[in-house]
Amino acid sequence: AYRFIRKTFVLQMLIAVILFAIFLSLSEWIPAFQGEMLEIIVIGGAILGIGVGLIIRNGSCLDGTEILAIIINHKKGFTVGQVVLFINIFIFGAYGAIFQDWHIAFGSLMTYIVAFKMLDLVIMGLDELKSVLIISSKPKELTEVIMHELGLGLTIMYGRGGYTGDAREILFVIVERLDLADLKQLIL
């Protein structure tokens, strides 16, 4: 992650892992959900997908599978959820083959199918791309940072302030939802 994504991503990941461990230990008093297998798969998968999706959407992750998924998403265009699901198919297949317990392997796979759909929905919302208008007193510096650090293209438009009448450069960027947190962090 440090080498392929960005340096601050590693720090955010460490914070996310520590917070996950704290909240997991604080939730030990909550009784385990008892129900039919299908209910457990749907509810567990939805909670897993929403939680991981919120973490990734805000520029972090919890484990190596997600790091690999983010890197592949940037390079190959598969969604993060698709990559996580694909990796977990191999993990659950290996579990089933080694321990000869296909019932648990299949249930886990079904949970991740639900999680993958929720993960992609949380990360991407209903559309994958967002348009961002940036009005800044330092458009040239921002242009360099956006193009070179994030690898995004942009359009420079010329406008005039309604109140002051001053000429301004407006940066117009089309960005994937996954990169939106990085763009916000660079601008702010």
pLDDT at position 3 over 70: no
Task: State mean pLDDT over 53-76.
Answer: 83
pLDDT at 64: 80
pLDDT at 108: 92
What mean pLDDT value characterizes the chain? 86
pLDDT at position 105 over 90: yes
* Partner residues linked to 176 by β-bridges: 129
pLDDT at position 100 over 90: yes
pLDDT at 70: 82
Provide, rounded to the nearest whole percent, the portion of the chain with pLDDT above 70. Answer: 95
CA distance 183 to 188: 9
Domains and CATH numbers, the chain: 7-124 (no CATH), 129-187 (3.30.70.120)
pLDDT at 125: 75
Threshold 0.85, pTM exceeds:
no
CA-closest candidate to residue 132, choices 166, 183, 168: 183
Q: Please, how many CA atoms are within 13 Å of residue 161, restricted to the half-sphere of its CB? A: 9
Provide, rounded to the nearest whole percent, the portion of the chain with pLDDT above 90. Answer: 31
Residue 43 is encoded by which pair of tokens? 């509810």
Q: Convert the pLDDT of each residue in 4-46 to its tens digit.
A: 667 777 888 888 889 888 988 988 888 888 889 999 999 999 9
pLDDT at 126: 66
CA distance 72 to 78: 7
Sequence length of the chain is 188
Report the Cα–Cα distance between both ends of the chain, in Å, rounded: 22
